[in-house]
Structure 1
Amino acid sequence: MTITVPNALTAVNNAPKTTQRLRVVFAGTPEFAAISLEALIAQQNALNIDIVAVYSQPDRKAGRGQKLSASAVKQVALAHDIPVEQPATFKKSSDEGLTARETLRAYQPDVMVVAAYGLILPIGVLTTPTYGCLNIHGSLLPRWRGAAPIHRALLAGDAATGITIMQMDKGLDTGDMLYKVSCAIIDNDSASSLHDKLATLGATAISTVLQDLPHYQAQATAQDNSQANYAEKLIKTEGEIDWSQSASVIERQIRGLTPWPGAYTFLKGARVKILASLPVNDSQQTDKPAGTVISVGRKAILVACGIDNDANFDADSANTARQASTLAITQLQFAGGKPVSAEQICHGNQLNDGDQFTAETDVI
């Protein structure tokens, strides 16, 4: 029996099915990938696989001391005595890249599992394993290809996201889809909580595929490129709140950028991080200017925002002027301080009714 793999990987077409244990190389760097690696290590016998090597990005300086720190994936591999490779490149134009390719071939991989690795894999690497390279991607492709799919799904207000196990090709998350599983996005999901859910879901999904890889490769489905969009890499300045936006948009910004880069604003020239808020209540509207602190309460701090075009609005009502929405902040952090709740702020004097949150460009 032969298996059919995506046309983009012609070098691995018609690889024979075998009952021998698959030689797996795992490539990943952060915690999202480490969860899958842990799961695969624990299930090697059940899945009939051997993880023969782990690839991760080179150690980076981290923390105040700027000491070299091993990635989450590397730490898992070392704890289980699995060889770790950390090439900076696979480009054949460099000696290091050529050496990295030769090292990979020496492991004689049947399949390479990739999750948030962070290095571009050239076609020469993608075709090295017998069954090619499988990617654990944190979205329901073709929606949210790219670097930050979890955050972008939250920022866009998506009702659901998920995991796609994809046969990698030379494009950016463009390969054929082998398996998809969805995950609902609930009202209080942040990028952090959704990351954890999808990391667990990703581990389950790749285990499912590896149970019968020929079957899933044989039924691979091409992505509809007309439905694709891209999850651009996050930058720090995306965290600055524009209070003229609706409360719904700002509330998604807070959740979608937690823990990094975080949502923030300015109060009297000092940066204030907005850590958490309640779901938007359409009935809470105001005529106050955007960014105005309407009230400092024990349960929440109400702040005026822009008009919410998504909220229900009765055009025939007596009140013909659409009022601005409000955001209920439950936790924030003043510059140089620790996170504090609305109740703690209510008992202090750092924030008062009528105070104005501003943009950095408005700071004098």
Structure 2
Amino acid sequence: MRVAFAGTPEFAAVALQALLAAGFEVPLVLTQPDRPAGRGMKLQASPVKQVAQQHGIPVSQPLSLRLDGKHPGEAAAGREALLAARPDLLVVAAYGLILPQWVLDLPRLGCLNIHASLLPRWRGAAPIHRAIEAGDAETGITIMQMDAGLDTGDMLLIERLPIAADDTTASLHDKLAVLGGRLMVEALELAACGGFRPERQPEAGVCYAHKIEKAESDIDWTLPAAAIERRLRAFDPFPGGLSHLDGEALKIWKAQPAPGTGQPGEVLAADASGLLVACGEGALRLTELQRAGGKRLPAAAFLQSRPVPVGTVLKSAAASPT
């Protein structure tokens, strides 16, 4: 079976490596164009392209696949590459481009997507972040037969994964990437012998995991401590939690709910164990912080370089004069 692959970030690269390790023939990889990255802003190949190059797999990087869109020449080149690859099936994982109907119809077995949630719980761009933010007890991987809707296709395989109390988006991403690769290998083995049993997604329980915006990092200290702590884990490694200390931007990366009452944002204690900050309900002990232009530091090291008096009030960006 000839399996073309469409994906871009590390999540997708892990899946591509799993398919190659399982012995599947991958005649073509589709991935996003190289982007500027790093301090020098040099063009950098996506993680998926790097894996493809290591294995000598042809790569196509169209800006769009819509033949009637803004980049018809790019789309036509992508179409020619897919036609030449003659895929029986297209595996899609965090590709970053909407697939038009002609792509969905081209492989004889259609297109399969690795989606990082228990559909239909979190459809959309940021299912890992939103599951942590919402306080979900579990998440997982759904292998889905793609259709023209947004993550609305039939479900083929599902495997659940508990969300640990200390999971961040980074740690949960890595677990789900491995699970996604393994489950897609199982799905392709089923496809090879005609063993699929598609299941329609239920109408109830649909949520949309909207893309994470940088503005969401701003911490609202009037929220309950548990809600803020979940957002900090959901926004690690991007965009983090942002507050202001005497007008200076302060990134907060890790915190633990703790007993305490006071004005929201008020520092109730500051010692080697962390900054205890009052919230709308309860308090948070901030254990990893970062000043503008500095490094992420444990609270004890942070306080050595930047003492914080008890009674100081941390403020949101909207409330800060800077």
Q: Does 1:220 align with 2:184?
A: no
Normalising to structure 1: TM-score of the pair? 0.85
Question: Which has the higher Rg, Structure 1 or Structure 2?
Answer: 1
Q: How far apart in 2 are the matches of 1:352 and 1:216? A: 67
* Structure 2 counterpart of 1:41: 20
Output aligned runs, 1:102-121, within 5 Å.
Answer: 102-121=80-99
* Structure 2 counterpart of 1:51: 26
Counterpart of 1:77, as a letter, is A
Counterpart of 2:275, as a letter, is I
Q: How far apart in 1 are the matches of 2:194 and 2:100? A: 23
- Equivalent residue in structure 2 for 1:88, among 63, 73, 80: 63
Q: Bigger shift: 212-221 or 134-143? A: 212-221
Answer whether contact 2:224 2:280 (CA < 8 A) is retained: yes
Q: Does 1:101 align with 2:76?
A: no
1:336 CA drift (Å): 2.3
Q: Does 1:159 align with 2:137?
A: yes
* Structure 1 counterpart of 2:207: 229
Q: Does 1:340 align with 2:314?
A: no
* Structure 1 counterpart of 2:287: 330
Answer whether contact 1:179 1:216 (CA < 8 A) is retained: no
1:214 CA drift (Å): 5.7
Instruction: Call closer, same or farther: CA 1:186–1:254 in 2, change over 3 Å.
Output: same
Output aligned runs, 1:166-177, within 5 Å.
Answer: 166-177=144-155
* Structure 1 counterpart of 2:242: 264
CA RMSD across the alignment: 1.3
Q: Bigger shift: 138-147 or 345-354? A: 345-354
1:268 CA drift (Å): 1.0
Counterpart of 1:223, as a letter, is Q
Counterpart of 2:141 in 1: which secondary structure? strand
Q: For residues 67-105 of structure 1, give each alpha carbon's deviation from its aligned partner in whole angstroms, at most 9, with x where no partner exists.
A: 111000000000111111111111121233233223211
- Equivalent residue in structure 2 for 1:289, among 263, 277, 299: 263
* Structure 1 counterpart of 2:166: 188
Q: Does 1:61 align with 2:36?
A: yes
Q: For residues 182-230 of structure 1, give each alpha carbon's deviation from its aligned partner in whole angstroms, at most 9, with x where no partner exists.
A: 1100110000000001001101110111111166763110011332110
Instruction: Call closer, same or farther: CA 1:326–1:215 in 2, change over 3 Å.
Output: farther
* Structure 2 counterpart of 1:27: 6
Answer whether contact 2:190 2:196 (CA < 8 A) is retained: no
Answer whether contact 1:26 1:114 (CA < 8 A) is retained: yes
Counterpart of 1:236, as a letter, is K
Counterpart of 1:77 in 2: which secondary structure? helix
Normalising to structure 2: TM-score of the pair? 0.96
* Structure 2 counterpart of 1:353: 310
- Equivalent residue in structure 2 for 1:75, among 50, 69, 75: 50
Counterpart of 1:50 in 2: which secondary structure? coil
Counterpart of 2:53, as a letter, is L
Counterpart of 1:218 in 2: which secondary structure? coil
Counterpart of 2:107 in 1: which secondary structure? coil
1:327 CA drift (Å): 0.4
Q: For residues 227-246 of structure 1, give each alpha carbon's deviation from its aligned partner in whole angstroms, at most 9, with x where no partner exists.
A: 21100001000000000001
Counterpart of 1:97 in 2: which secondary structure? helix
Answer whether contact 2:242 2:317 (CA < 8 A) is retained: no
Counterpart of 2:185 in 1: which secondary structure? helix
Segments of structure 1 that go 5 or more residues without pairing to the other structure are: 1-21, 308-324
Counterpart of 2:125, as a letter, is A
Counterpart of 1:51 in 2: which secondary structure? coil
Q: How far apart in 2 are the matches of 1:270 and 1:346? A: 15
Counterpart of 1:99 in 2: which secondary structure? helix
Answer whether contact 1:57 1:87 (CA < 8 A) is retained: yes
* Structure 1 counterpart of 2:184: 206
Counterpart of 2:10, as a letter, is E
Instruction: Call closer, same or farther: CA 1:162–1:23 in 2, change over 3 Å.
Output: same
User: Equivalent pairs: percent with the same residue?
Assistant: 48
* Structure 2 counterpart of 1:312: none
Q: How far apart in 1 are the matches of 2:194 and 2:316? A: 50
* Structure 2 counterpart of 1:299: 273
